[in-house]
Structure 1
Amino acid sequence: MEEFVVLVNPEDEVLGLMDKQQAHINGVLHRAFSVFLFNSKGEMLLQKRAPGKYHSPGKWTNAVCSHPRENETYLQAAGRRIKEELGIETELSEKFYFIYKADVGGGLWENELDHVFVGNYEADFDLNKEEVEEVRFISMEELDKEITKNPENFTEWFKIILEEYKHHF
């Protein structure tokens, strides 16, 4: 199935649609969302991207990142992707949004107006192995240590979004 992203200007006004991969090649601004999930100990859920992903395969990132479809709200899209990737449902609240641009390698760019959601989750997962290789919870302190020691093990956008998240909390 061909996937499209919603192109926007910095005020989040829709400019049109573009094939997802082409948007990442061209580095054009488009809608995105990121989800951070935490357990009762305050540990963050990380997912390891499946080896078959077209960019950043096998890298650790936040619970879910993706793009809303045309006429889909950011919250609807976040709920859809949590179900599709992790096989779960949980309540989410939007915390902030910002624009970032990151070189993700292979001639691809993320240039996203990113809405960041936070939720809690404590039960089992039903991972979609085409999307997610594995998941784990980690303390923020240990996460900072791992990123400092081995930044290449994490997606470029996650490192950017995590720093922005820290500025808000």
Structure 2
Amino acid sequence: MTENIKVFNLDGNFIGVQDRATFYKEIKDEFKRTGKITRKIESIRILLLNSKGRIYLQKRSSTKKENANLYDKTIGGHISNSETKSVTVIKECAEELGFPAVVLSEEEFNDSISSLDLSVVGVLKQVSESQNFLSVRKTEDGDFLQPFITYFYIGYYDGSITFKDGESSGLETFSIEELLKELKKNPEKFTDDLKYMVENYKEYLIPLKKD
């Protein structure tokens, strides 16, 4: 199935719409030729926790061409041409993780999180964005840096999570203390995306306060 995505130059100016598979082929060819990538697309990156503060990490499948066998953020995704960032988050949670979710503003999140049944619905909020996020992609042929316009989300969910498409070989949970210790002890086991999110958003990776 063809997926069209918006393409931007490194200054953030819109270039046009392109098929995702074609875009990726072209930027990988560009990196092989020049050692850099001069176009970027929009993406979302999500870290989910349960209400006790256990952080859900996926272990990427050994069959993945990029970042195989590494522990990663809960999930990420591309924003297609026809969708908003919030719709992308909701679809990724439903289609890839198997649960319904809502995206709320900071105020809505704080006002409602304690009253919602998190075993039924996931609740997320955007915590930041980066117009020039560099994602390190490790492959058998070497690493490459891919630029993105990225929106970062943190959320809570207490129900079961099941990866739907085979991109993950498992799911593991960590407290923030356990994760920081493991990142220091065995950094090679984790993606750079995850390291960035933990370093920059660890203040959010905490148990929910009970009323």
Q: TM-score range by the shorter chain?
A: 0.7 to 0.9
Q: Map 1:11-160; keep pairs closer than 5 Å.
A: 13-18=13-18, 19-22=22-25, 25=28, 26=30, 27=37, 28-91=39-102, 92-98=124-130, 99-106=132-139, 107-160=143-196
| TM-aligned CA deviation for residue 4 of structure 1 | 4.8
Aligned residues: 169
CA contact (8 A) 2:48 2:154 kept: yes
Segments of 5+ residues of structure 1 without an aligned counterpart are: none
CA contact (8 A) 1:110 1:157 kept: no
| TM-aligned CA deviation for residue 9 of structure 1 | 4.7
2:209 equivalent to 1:164: no
What is the letter of the counterpart of residue 159 of structure 2?
A
Distance 1:147 1:80, change over 3 A: same
The superposition leaves residues 78-112 of structure 1 with CA deviations (integer Å, 9 ceiling, x where unpaired) of: 11112222112223221210132133233533211
What is the letter of the counterpart of residue 29 of structure 1?
K
Deviates more, 1:71-80 or 1:122-131: 122-131
Distance 1:6 1:151 in 2: 33
Segments of 5+ residues of structure 2 without an aligned counterpart are: 31-36, 103-123, 206-211
CA contact (8 A) 1:85 1:132 kept: no
Distance 2:8 2:58 in 1: 28
Please tell me the root mean square deviation across aligned C-alpha atoms, in Å.
2.4
TM-score normalized with structure 2 length: 0.70
Percent of pairs identical after alignment? 24
CA contact (8 A) 1:101 1:112 kept: yes
Distance 2:126 2:23 in 1: 24
CA contact (8 A) 1:10 1:113 kept: no
Is the partner of 1:79 in helix, strand or coil?
A: helix
Is the partner of 2:166 in helix, strand or coil?
A: coil
The superposition leaves residues 107-158 of structure 1 with CA deviations (integer Å, 9 ceiling, x where unpaired) of: 5332111101121111112222512211122111111111111111111222
TM-score normalized with structure 1 length: 0.85
CA contact (8 A) 1:24 1:108 kept: no
Indicate the structure (1 or 2) with the bigger Cα radius of gyration: 2
